[in-house]
Chains A and B, each alone.
Chain A
Amino acid sequence: MLRIHHHFMIGGSLLLLLILPLMIIALKRHERSATPRLAIIQDMDKMPYLKPQRKSDLFADGRGMRPHIPGTLAREDFIYINQAETRLHPNNWAATHVVLNSKVKYEKVLYGQVLRNGQGDWVKSIPIHVTPEFVNRGELKFDVYCGPCHGDNGKGNGLVNQYVTHLRAQGSPDAGTWVQPTDLTGPAVKYMPDGQIYGVVTNGIAAMAAYKDQIPVVDRWAIVAYVRALELASAPVPAGKLPVQDRPASPPGKAASAAHPGMQVAAASAARQTQ
Chain B
Amino acid sequence: MSEKPSFVFPKWINKATLGLLATLAIAPVYLIILLGYGANARTLNVGFSPKQPVPFSHALHAGKLGINCYYCHTDVMRAAFAALPPTQTCLNCHAEIAPNSKKLQPIRDSYGLGPASKAGLPVPWIKVNDEPDYVYFNHAAHINAGVSCLTCHGRVNEMTQVYQAKPLNMAWCLACHRNPGPNLRPRNEVTNLNWNPNNKVQLARDLGLKESQLPKNLGKYLVKKYKIASTKLLTDCQTCHH
Binding site for B on A (CB under 8 A): 18, 21-22, 25, 28-38, 40, 43-47, 49, 51-53, 61-63, 91-96, 140, 143-145, 147-149, 159-160, 163-164, 167, 173-179, 207, 209, 211, 213-215
Contacts and interface: CB of A to CB of B under 8 A. Distances in A.
Contacts, number: 134
A65 to B, nearest CB: 8
A37 B65 contact: no
A265 to B, nearest CB: 12
B81 A51 contact: yes
A29 B101 contact: no
A134 B227 CA distance: 22
Interface of B: 30, 33-34, 37-39, 42-51, 64-68, 70-71, 74, 77-81, 83-84, 86, 88-89, 91-93, 95-101, 120-122, 130, 132-134, 140, 143-144, 161, 163, 187-188, 227
A159 B60 CA distance: 11
B43 A28 contact: yes
A63 B125 CA distance: 12
A18 B27 CA distance: 10
A65 B68 CA distance: 25
B145 to A, nearest CB: 10
The 8 closest A-B pairs by CB, nearest first: A174-B98, A32-B49, A52-B81, A209-B92, A45-B132, A47-B133, A144-B68, A176-B99
A110 B165 CA distance: 41
A18 B89 CA distance: 52
Contacts of A31: 47
Given A21-B38, A37-B45, A148 B100 contact: no
A37 B48 contact: yes
Contacts of B77: 94
B65 A148 contact: yes
- Most chain B CB atoms below 10 A, which of A35, A44, A164, A214: A214
A143 B68 contact: yes
A209 B89 CA distance: 9
Contacts of A215: 74
Contacts of A30: 47
B171 to A, nearest CB: 15
Contacts of B130: 36
A46 B47 contact: no
A96 B47 contact: no
B65 A176 contact: no
A168 B95 CA distance: 16
Given A25-B38, A44-B132, A160-B97, 15 more contacts: A28-B43, A29-B42, A33-B49, A44-B133, A52-B80, A61-B120, A94-B78, A95-B78, A148-B67, A167-B97, A176-B97, A178-B97, A211-B92, A214-B74, A215-B74
A209 B34 contact: no
Nearest to A139: B188
Contacts of A29: 42-43, 46-47
A148 to B, nearest CB: 5
Contacts of A95: 78
B97 A93 contact: no
A62 B121 contact: yes
